[in-house]
Structure 1
């Protein structure tokens, strides 16, 4: 099979309801995301509804679960970095072309990144020859409201008349939180008198579009 017609493999990491995962599932093998399949959905929360979405997809998508605190309790003496390496191990088994963080609420450090980008190999194994791109969806503009609660912080800044708009972006994942190269950036105006729930609704609609655009963009560059 030629490389251009090969099905591109995506692993998605989630923590919550999985609406952005659903956007990716719905786009698979359409013009928005051609020649692609999600081979694994990994969650760090057992109750994440995104796992149900994956299991109910047609065809069903393999799921896995690994949470930090239970992992540390079960493996006395292990560290957060060891957990990140274990996440990388699960991901690498799938031989993905792309890893998408779609509402993954855990900061991945070098324990993950150096295995995914080939700086290190898994125990006794050769490192990956080609770095695997990792992208993240973040509900803010580059350099604004990095980290958690970005939507609430942007809304509060608007109420304080510090900003007139916010946005969402898909960016490459690096060690520094939400500081990787932006791939897709979309501005979203804030509207006077609009409740935060309405703003959040509008922002999520944009997220569902750009996570698919970002995934396609990176896969097409491979």
Structure 2
């Protein structure tokens, strides 16, 4: 008779801390809500939003974060109030202060989810680790930044892309429209596309109808792209770092 030998499972490995997300917003936060709903589900496993930053005080996304279960920490830093409170400071200084808020949260990834402020080279240099802010830790690795943009690659960079694209389609200037999530670089909306999705648009329909369909696609792909990048990034922190 053969003897059965039971081997105890090795539970000595420390638990992996949840992947940490910082989300930047400016408005109602529907894309943020998609991330809140997806965290720690099959769509976005072992992930936690650790900070939501807004450049607009009245952004409803801040309320969404505070109302989450558990509540998500938030921060507000507006450009004009910052410049008024700090005479002699510049927009570049403001971007550095936003970067300081971000790196203090020790994220694995930063998601721009309706962040209506151009991400500067100075901000990106801090997150790349090529610039170390006074009083802050040296980064163990680059923190990637991604952004959702309601246009196809190379179409309608910058603000009001939905309206500009819709008008161009109705005039027959373009044949298709869509939305993408891309890596953030200094050139506005020109980073490497991660997920690109066409969105149906119909001749003669109202802008609101197209916008509704586009947002539904946004809520899907912002989660998909977040998971895609997190899967590429080696965790830089263990659970003991946050105890």
Same-fold call, TM > 0.5? yes
Q: How does 1:87-102 map to 2 (within 5 A)?
A: 87-102=98-113
Partners of 1:164 and 1:190 within 8 A in 2: no
The equivalent residue for 1:138 is 149
Q: Residue 202 in 1 paired to residue 234 in 2?
A: no
* Residue of structure 2 equivalent to 1:181: 192
Separation in 2, partners of 1:125, 1:198: 46
Which deviates the most, 197-206 or 108-117? 108-117
Length-normalised TM-score, structure 1: 0.97
Q: Distance in 1 between matches of 2:14 and 2:184?
A: 25
In structure 2, stretches of 5+ residues that fail to align are 1-11, 234-243
Find out whether 1:22 has 2:33 as its counterpart: yes
Task: Please say if 1:162 is aligned against 2:173.
Answer: yes
1:5, distance to aligned residue in structure 2 (A)? 3.5
Larger CA Rg, structure 1 vs 2: 2
Whole-Å Cα distance in 2 between the matches of residues 18 and 209 of structure 1? 14
Structure 1 segments unaligned to the other structure (5+ residues): none
Offset, 1:190: 1.4
Equivalences for residues 47-126 of structure 1 within 5 A:
47-125=58-136
1:180-201 CA deviation, whole Å, 9 max, x = no partner?
0100000113112211100000
**Deviates further, 160-169 or 138-147:** 160-169
The answer to whether the aligner puts 1:37 opposite 2:48 as a matched pair is yes
Quote the Cα distance in structure 1 between the aligned partners of 2:63 and 2:44. 22
Match of 1:10 among 21, 30, 33: 21
The 3-state SS of whatever aligns with 1:186 is strand
Aligned partners of 2:104 and 2:136 also within 8 Å: no
Distance 2:120 2:14 in 1: 31
Q: Give distance in 1, aligned partners of 2:73 and 2:33.
A: 14
| Deviations 1:117-155 (CA, angstroms, capped at 9, x unpaired) | 111101154541300000000000001000000011111
Task: String of CA shifts for 1:83-116, please: whole Å, max 9, x gaps.
Answer: 0000000011100000000000000112211001
Residues 14 and 43 of structure 1, relative CA distance in 2, 3 Å threshold: same
Which position in structure 1 is the counterpart of 2:57? 46
**Does 1:191 pair with 2:202?**
yes
Q: 4+ residue stretches of structure 1 with deviation over 6 A?
A: none
- Report the aligned-residue RMSD: 1.4
Structure 2 counterpart of 1:217: 228
Would you say the 8 A contact 2:170–2:204 is kept in 1?
A: no
How many residues align structurally? Answer: 222
